[in-house]
Structure 1
Amino acid sequence: MRRITLWLLSTLAALVLLFSYRTSLGAAAAPTTTTAAGGGTGGAGTAGTTYAGSVAPTRWGDVQVTITVVDGRITAVNVPVYPDNNGKDRQINARALPVLVQETIAAQSADIDAVSGATVTSDGYKESLQAALDKAHLS
């Protein structure tokens, strides 16, 4: 009888711990805009021109990239449209989009690596980014 009681209490405690475990950090908003440090010199003409890439449809949702160009260099990248249909999408993109944005500013092109675990979003990002670069007449 003691064994059964101990077993039931242990099982109940394990189930309570299992179901109370939080698997995500909540709905974290993805920082989707980054500006290159030291990109401008101040004064007139540093606002730049913004170019919007086409909306790239992906399996998980649309992706669109906009870039700001000053003196032929990408100084800022914004991702106004990206998959955020559920918690998993938000969690993946909160991690992937800042990496893609930083790589874009560093590479100054669409020749960037995909983010592991966010391949579909990365492909859509690169497609929209290339469209924005084409509008800006950049490589």
Structure 2
Amino acid sequence: MRRRVAAAMSAVSLIVVGFSVRASEQSGGTTSAAAAGVVDQPAGSPSGDASSTKPKPSTSPTPRSTPKSTPSSKPTSRAKPTPSSKPTPSTAAKTVTVNGAAVDTDYGPVQVQVSVRGKKIISATAIAYPQSSGRDMAINSYAIPMLQQDTVAKQSAQVDTVSGATYTSDGYRQSLQSALDAAHQAGAL
């Protein structure tokens, strides 16, 4: 009886592991790269700009109350419409988002996406990097944020190599340079 239960549990475990591996492969065990070049982004929707997501204030007037016959009552005043705080399209700096080329490394592809506004790099995001093993994930969990911060701080592709993540750093730098070149061609830099 124990052998049958153990055999049944083993079969169920193998099925669960099989589904887990398949789901992992489909959901991101390996990252596919996006196409290099300018990514379409509307002018009024810069990444991280909270003003573009705020609801527009209501400009409808408040109803007037009818004056009562008592002398102490006063009619309420009408609410004045407030001007919209949204910048006009002609004065708003356009955000351009560009994907760099996917660069193959010994451990997998690395690809960087850059957002530029007003001739400045406002964000750099690694959209593809090695994640196929636990070691890859451990290394890149600290290396990628350091590379991204260094990009914004230095405003160039001259980012420092992260110790222990040489291949990722080199691939990141190459992809970043191709993204900056594409942003320059688009007139954003």
**TM-score, with structure 2 as normaliser:** 0.50
What SS class does the counterpart of residue 88 from structure 1 fall into?
Answer: helix
Alpha carbons 2:94, 2:118 under 8 Å: kept = no
Q: Does 1:98 align with 2:160?
A: no
| TM-superposition CA deviations, 1:50-83 (whole Å, max 9, x none) | 0100000000000000000001100011111000
Counterpart code for 2:97: T
4+ runs of 1 displaced by more than 3 Å? 42-47
- Inter-partner Cα distance in structure 2 for 1:108 and 1:83: 24
Check conservation: 2:111, 2:175, Cα contact below 8 A: yes
- Ranked by relative contact order (alpha carbons within 8 Å, sequence separation 6 or more), the top structure is 1
Amino acid of the structure 1 residue aligned with 2:161:
A
Aligned equivalent of 2:121: 74
**Inter-partner Cα distance in structure 1 for 2:126 and 2:94:** 18
> How many residues matched?
100
Distance 2:111 2:145 in 1: 14
Aligned ranges for residues 1-139 of structure 1 at < 5 Å?
43=87, 45-46=92-93, 48-137=95-184
2: CA distance, partners of 1:64 / 1:120: 13
* CA displacement at 1:47 relative to structure 2: 5.8
Of Structure 1 and Structure 2, which has the larger fraction of its residues in strand? Answer: 1
Offset of residue 46 of structure 1: 4.8
Partners of 2:160 and 2:172 in 1: how far apart? Answer: 11
CA–CA distance in structure 1, aligned partners of residues 117 and 141 of structure 2: 27
Structure 2 match to 1:7: none
Q: Distance in 2 between matches of 1:50 and 1:62?
A: 20
8 A Cα contact 2:107 2:130, kept in partner: yes
RMSD (Å) for aligned C-alpha atoms: 2.0
Once residues 51 and 59 of structure 1 are traced to their aligned partners in structure 2, the CA distance between those partners, rounded to angstroms, is 25
Most deviating of 74-83 and 120-129: 74-83
Q: Could you tell me how far apart the structure 1 residues matched to 2:143 and 2:137 are?
A: 10
Cα distance between partner residues in 2 of 1:69 and 1:114: 23
Identical aligned residues as a percent: 43
The unaligned stretches of length 5 or more in structure 1 are 1-34, 37-41
